[in-house]
Amino acid sequence: MKQVLKVTEEKMQKSLSSLHNEYTAIRAGRANPAVLDKIHVDYYGVPTQINQMAAISVSEARVLIIQPWDISTLSQIEKAIQTSDLGINPNNDGKVIRIAFPPLTEDRRREIVKQVHKYAEECKVSMRNIRRDSIDKLKAMKKNSEVTEDDQKNGEKQIQTFTDKYCKEVDTAAAVKEKEIMEI
């Protein structure tokens, strides 16, 4: 039973960390190198993340600078950024690529907040699925006489406690991200 509880908590932690990764990739008006994490460049036939083939730095609050280690990849990086869903046009000066993030409009902020809440809800659904699977495992263990009925009930309570705790953390993370996005 302890193994089931341990696995349940680990899976919920992974779901929460996955949500945090999604949130770092959301553009909130400020330059953040994490927005480039999902963009891959065809580098000698291998899809490669930009941060593995260039130095990425924030020069001003709204400007990212990408300096490739191999200058010949400059145009490929630029093309990958243009075709991505970032919605930003990079400026290539022959040595580095500059990405200027325009200030977000009120409508765009509201769209992004909806996306934040959608990710949060998906994470909660994932956690409820983990809870259901874990409780099913406990019921199967009870049926096979591996645990007593009291142990099963205590395990279910513990799993519910994990679920409540992590769902509350998801709500907190979503509120923090929403506040960051709506900040002007």
Q: What is the pLDDT of residue 127?
A: 94
Q: What is the pLDDT of residue 183?
A: 76
CB–CB of 40/47 below 8 Å?
yes
pLDDT, the chain, mean: 87
- Looking at the predicted structure, is the pLDDT value of residue 158 above 70? yes
CB–CB of 173/116 below 8 Å?
no
Nearest CA-CA partner of 47 in 84, 17, 22: 84
Contact partners, residue 175, CB within 8 Å, separation at least 6: none
Task: Of 107-111, 112-116, 158-162, 173-177, give the lowest mean pLDDT range.
Answer: 107-111
Domains of the chain, each with CATH number or no CATH: 2-24+105-182 (1.10.132.20), 33-100 (3.30.1360.40)
- Looking at the predicted structure, is the pLDDT value of residue 29 above 70? no
pLDDT tens digits, residue range 42-69? 888 888 888 888 898 888 878 889 999 8
CA-to-CA distance for 75 and 94, rounded, in angstroms?
9
Burial class of 150 by CB neighbour count within 10 A (0 to 12, 13 to 18, 19+): exposed
Q: What is the pLDDT of residue 129?
A: 95
Task: Of 55-59, 120-124, 163-167, give the lowest mean pLDDT range.
Answer: 55-59
Q: What is the pLDDT of residue 28?
A: 67
- Looking at the predicted structure, is the pLDDT value of residue 81 above 90? no
CA-to-CA distance for 87 and 81, rounded, in angstroms?
9
Q: What is the pLDDT of residue 163?
A: 94
- Looking at the predicted structure, is the pLDDT value of residue 184 above 80? no
CA-to-CA distance for 14 and 131, rounded, in angstroms?
14
- Would you state the structure tokens that stand for residue 90, as one six-digit string? 């990079």
Q: What is the pLDDT of residue 106?
A: 85
Q: Is the pTM of this model over 0.85?
A: no
Order of strands, edge to edge, in the sheet holding 97-100?
A: 54-60, 63-68, 97-100, 91-92
Nearest CA-CA partner of 177 in 87, 127, 114, 128: 114
**SS3 annotation, 22-84:** HHHCCCCCCCCHHHHCCCEEEECCEEEEHHHCEEEEEEECCEEEEEECCHHHHHHHHHHHHHC
